Chains A and B, each alone.
Chain A
Amino acid sequence: MSLPLVLGGAFLCVAGGVPGLFLPPGAAARRIATAGSVGGSLLGLAGAVSVAVTGRVEALTRAWPLPGAALHVELDALSAIFLVPLFLVSALAAISGARSFGDDEHPSDARRTRFFFGLMTGAIAVVLVARNGLLFLAAWEVMALSAFFLITADRQSRESRDAGRLYLFSTHVATLGLFGFFSQLRSLTGSTELVPLPPGVAGTDAGTALFALALFGFGFKAGILPLHFWLPPAHAAAPAHVSALMSGVLIKTGIYGILRFTSLVPDPPAAWGDVLLVLGVASAVLGVAFALGQHDLKRLLAWHSVENIGIIVLGLGAGLAGRAAGRPDWALLGFAGALFHVVNHGLFKSLLFLGAGEVVHVAGTRDMDRMGGFGRVLPKTAFFFLAGAVAISGLPPLNGFASEWLVYLGLFDRARASGSDALRAAFAAPALALTGALALACFVKAHGSVFLGSPRGDPPHAHGEPAAHVAPMAILAGACALLGLWPAGIAPALARAAAIAAPGPVPTVTLAELASLVTVGLSALALVLLLGVVALFLRRKLAVAAPTAGPTWDCGYARPTARMQYTASSFARGPVGYFGWALRPRAKGAPVTKLFPVSASFESHVPDTVLDRAIVPAFRAGAWAARKGRILQQGRIQLYLLYVVATLVALLFRV
């Protein structure tokens, strides 16, 4: 009964946006679309949760009059663990987006955006349950294209059109890789259905090619370094609720693809795990380093998606290596950690994006160097953003810590083993720790420069925080807290999904025992209690001695101004410098020299190195070569006919 719920929910999400396309823009169209998204998501959520809890498998097959294709869908625990965040985030983001990207401010774009939002939710759901290669590709393409229309929701802005074009290119190259992947899979298994590979194939050249194609196609969508370059511009340009769904859920379909693929492989070689470990470390460390260099709040969050995808891929690598080494406990910890982080990142990243959307709405800019003091006008947003920041930095007591804990354990257990296995794990674990520390620094910067201090630009006007905006964030923050305080609760579902991702022997102990998740939960609870006691104590003290307002210590400056505060860029200057070899920050401006300096300006940027140094030059070279080819185009019919005949003759000789 769960599969019909999921499919029905997906259908409802899609159908909800349709009437709005024909109705005049206004409250009626908005209510229908939002009701469709929320109702469909709740239906789907019910179905996905029931499968995640019980672990049963439901399948449905219908004929599809297309050679090799069948409408074959199947819902198992692995699909369910991805479907739960999809439906949860979709419902909450739809509520938030109905208000923040409404018909008043975007009269021509809002209804289109609502339609594609529902379509994307439905398509992702189908991707996650499809078990036929062609059905998978069809749903994948619908998903990818609706994301394009969502990124370019604000058609008037040149930035979003550019981001959309870059995304469209990337997603089509990725799909091309997937076409190669599925045809290679078909030639190895003899079926377009997603059936297991025969044993022994994975180690051959054909198996390696299959893995490379999967990594390319799915890695592009997931945003694994160096295939991440579409991600920061796209997430920055899209409306906040769209970024929330894209960053929280859409890019995870790439992770799902890799997991579903490895679940079909009976004997993954050890090298696959090592490749994923290296890619994971690179994405995690460089992702957070680039995030530190950003001034744009949403771009910063997008780079954190690269970082978190890196952590997830690290978990996948650890899991695959565990399978190759014949250690089901390593595999369980790695895969369960990756899956847990998929869920967690979906929750806290969408929470952060929804908060960022509200901040950007009030500030009228995404530039953090022009914000400051927003905690006073948006106290609730500031609180929930802080919760998301704590979670994403991997700090207890929230859920980010719990999932990274599993990945750490998987790596530590391996590092304690002997031989070359230990060496590889020993380099990955410190990288994960470095990532966590840098993420913390980055969110101290983001939260501090946005919500604390005094306004750097125009002071934000009092705005109010409507329930439609606060409630989704509160629910997401609550879910983060719940998973952080009671990770043992989700452990059975994770273990079931991990068992599907890693078929073969299962460890004798449960995941909760293996990772002492009850202890983790209790420690988190103790930490919360401790914090509560400290907070109570401080409040008591404040009540006794009422605070007086006065200037802070200002280094002896006679007239401190808001411009003298640490900005987001100056705060991050140190770490950005350490990573200068990869980040290549650009600075412009003259140093201040004399005692009474003339007016000077300074600006610095951290552009995407891969995009600027590799992709753009490659395309310039391509355009140059194409211009050379224009010598063939003379505009004479007679000449074109000659080309046609020359081609025909050449073909004739080849045959």
Chain B
Amino acid sequence: MTHPVDILLVVVILLNFLVLGTPALRMTIRAAALQGAVLAVLPLLVHRGFGWRVAAIAIATMGIKGILIPGLLEKAMRDIHIRHEVEPYVGFVPSLFLCAVGTGLAILFAGNLPLAPEHVGTLLVPASLATLLSGFLVLTTRRKAISQVVGYLILENGIFIFGQLLIEAMPFLVEAGVLLDLFVGIFIMGIVINHIRQEFSSLDTELLSELKD
């Protein structure tokens, strides 16, 4: 637990709980943004050699995950007048409980994985799995489309952490890919949100069930 990477990862895991536990929509966006910013520092610490490529990835991650996307979401919240409350299908306490169970299982599961020796002691894999799970929880238990984007963002953060494991094998290809993927994904969801709003004058995905055949 003394490794600085582990401290950052603990912060990431705690932010997962914050996203799932807070009823304020704005807070979830900011927590996701903070998580992105924390993760931007991660490559700098994981890699001993400090090259321009690591710096570029850190800056890009910070820019996109920490500033650009949260900024867009906040702007969306201001532009479309909706209630600034998370509307969950599953309540906050059960969500937190599920998240805790998930995190515990992730730690147990990571202990059984055949990992490279340099990754065995760290929290990289458990944090990654726990973040993936939390992102998925947000995606499935929250009703507003903006919450869905936040969930997607957190899911991608989990993949990003996992990508750190592969950095020796495929230097930065993964990160660059993930960033691009994320950006395009958010972009498309932005368009979708806009269309949902025009169609239903609400962002409740519940109303989408009217579209089913």
Contact = CB atoms under 8 A, between A and B. Distances in A.
A637 B89 contact: no
A451 B148 CA distance: 74
A637 to B, nearest CB: 5
Interface stretch (A217-225, A295-303, A396-404, A628-636): A628-636
B118 interface: no
Nearest to B89: A638
Contact of A635 (B140, B141, B143, B212): B212
Contact of B209 (A630, A636, A645): A636
B136 A636 contact: no
B139 A635 contact: no
A637 B213 CA distance: 14
Interface in A597-645: 630, 633-639, 641-642, 645
Given A636-B205, A636-B206, A641 B136 contact: yes
Nearest to A640: B140
B208 interface: yes
A633 B209 CA distance: 9
Contacts of B212: 633-635
Interface in B121-143: 136, 139-143
B210 interface: yes
A633 B213 contact: yes
A645 B155 CA distance: 13
Contacts of A639: 140
B208 A638 contact: no
Nearest to A636: B209
A637 B141 contact: no
B76 to A, nearest CB: 18
Contacts of B213: 630, 633
Contacts of B89: 638
Nearest to A645: B136
A641 to B, nearest CB: 5
A503 B209 CA distance: 64
Nearest to A634: B209
B113 interface: no
A633, A635, A638, A641, most chain B CB atoms within 10 A: A638
Contact of A641 (B139, B143, B206, B209): B139
B211 interface: yes
Nearest to A633: B212
Given A636-B206, A637-B148, A642 B140 contact: yes
Contacts of A635: 208-212
Interface residues of B, number: 16
A641 B210 contact: no
B208 A636 contact: yes
A630 B213 CA distance: 9
Interface string B173-213: 00000000000000000000000000000000110111111
Contacts of B143: 638
Contacts of B210: 635
Nearest to A630: B213
Nearest to B143: A638
B164 to A, nearest CB: 22
A639 B140 CA distance: 7
Contacts of B206: 636
Contacts of B211: 635
A655 B210 CA distance: 37
A642 B213 CA distance: 19
A189 to B, nearest CB: 41
Contacts of B140: 638-639, 641-642
Given A633-B212, A633-B213, A638 B136 contact: no
Interface string B89-132: 10000000000000000000000000000000000000000000
Nearest to B140: A638
Nearest to A639: B140
B136 A637 contact: no
A638 B95 CA distance: 14
A638 B212 CA distance: 14
Nearest to B90: A638
A642 B212 CA distance: 17
Contacts of A637: 148, 205, 208
Nearest to B211: A635
Interface string B63-79: 00000000000000000
B154 to A, nearest CB: 13
A635 B213 CA distance: 8
A652 to B, nearest CB: 11
A458 B25 CA distance: 78
A641 B136 CA distance: 8
B194 to A, nearest CB: 16
A349 B75 CA distance: 73
A645 B142 CA distance: 16
Contacts of A633: 212-213
Contacts of A638: 89, 139-143, 205
A642 B140 CA distance: 7
B162 to A, nearest CB: 15
Nearest to B205: A637
A62 B142 CA distance: 59
A641 B209 CA distance: 14
A634 B140 CA distance: 14
B98 to A, nearest CB: 13
B111 to A, nearest CB: 17
B22 to A, nearest CB: 19
B136, B210, B211, most chain A CB atoms within 10 A: B136
A375 to B, nearest CB: 56
Nearest to A638: B140
Contacts of A642: 140
A242 B21 CA distance: 70
Contacts of B148: 637
Contacts of B136: 641, 645
Interface in A190-225: none
Nearest to B145: A637
A582 B140 CA distance: 57
A17 B58 CA distance: 60
Nearest to B136: A645
Contacts of A645: 136
A633, A634, A636, A645, most chain B CB atoms within 10 A: A636
A631 to B, nearest CB: 12
A642 B211 CA distance: 19
A642 B133 CA distance: 12
A637 B192 CA distance: 13
A648 to B, nearest CB: 10
A637 B205 CA distance: 7
Nearest to B151: A641
A635 B159 CA distance: 27
Interface string B39-73: 00000000000000000000000000000000000
Interface string A359-393: 00000000000000000000000000000000000
Given A633-B212, A633-B213, 14 more contacts: A634-B209, A634-B212, A635-B210, A635-B211, A635-B212, A636-B206, A636-B208, A638-B140, A638-B141, A638-B142, A638-B143, A641-B136, A641-B140, A645-B136
19 contacts: A633-B212, A634-B209, A634-B212, A635-B208, A635-B211, A636-B205, A636-B206, A636-B208, A637-B148, A637-B205, A637-B208, A638-B89, A638-B139, A638-B140, A638-B141, A638-B142, A638-B205, A641-B136, A642-B140
Q: Which 8 A-B pairs have the closest CB atoms?
A: A635-B212, A635-B209, A638-B140, A637-B205, A641-B140, A641-B139, A642-B140, A636-B209
Interface of A: 630, 633-639, 641-642, 645
